[in-house]
Structure 1
Amino acid sequence: MPLHFELVTPEKLVRSEDVYMVVVPGSEGDFGVLEGHAPFMSTVRDGALQVFASAGAAPETIDVVGGFAEVTEQGLTVLAERAG
């Protein structure tokens, strides 16, 4: 099953899609999120999200500045100060 991923800034919903995995630049280090990940919250440091559309796919990178990441049963939401 895919992971539902949303990337949100104060201005807009940047991305809302089902993906295989996302690697987030957390303040305590990078962490990967797959479907079924345990609920989790982390602050996000300035860096690049890596979005994998499918297993084995090359990642798409999205630069983010600050914010929070939350993993719930519904998926992963990254609330970034800026993205792009």
Structure 2
Amino acid sequence: MPNLHFELVTPEKLLRSEDVHMVVVPGIEGDFAVLEGHAPFMTVIRPGEIAIYSSATTVTGRIAIEGGFAEVNDKGLTILAEAATEVA
């Protein structure tokens, strides 16, 4: 059941704003997963691929990003990416 609010923003536009189960993000110190209730933090992200999960085992989207920042707070996960492209 999706319960984490996820937003992906680039300088041009808001690309995603949806409730999901989990998002795996390419952090500067390694990939990390964010689920509902994750501890608040902010980090730099490296170029790589974001994986969006609608359930524990179902990937519903992959997005290539060119780096940026990720913030987790009580409202969910927000990624501010320098550039982002949907992966087919």
TM-score between both structures, scaled by the size of structure 1: 0.95
* C-alpha displacement of 1:59: 4.7
1:1-80 correspondence runs (5 A): 2-80=3-81
Measure the CA separation in 2 of the matches of 1:77 and 1:54. Answer: 19
TM-score between both structures, scaled by the size of structure 2: 0.91
Q: Give per-residue Cα distances to partners, 1:29-65, cap 9 Å, x unaligned.
A: 1000000000011101000001001222135210000
Letter of the 2:46 counterpart: R
Q: Which runs of 5+ in 2 are unaligned?
A: none
Measure the CA separation in 2 of the matches of 1:22 and 1:71. Answer: 11
Query: Partner of 1:46: helix, strand, or coil?
Result: strand
Measure the CA separation in 2 of the matches of 1:28 and 1:59. Answer: 25
Q: Which runs of 5+ in 1 are unaligned?
A: none
After TM superposition, the structure 1 stretch with the greater mean CA deviation from structure 2, 10-19 or 50-59, is 50-59
Runs of 4+ aligned structure 1 residues displaced above 3 Å come to none
Measure the CA separation in 2 of the matches of 1:7 and 1:22. Answer: 11
> Identical aligned pairs, as a percentage?
63
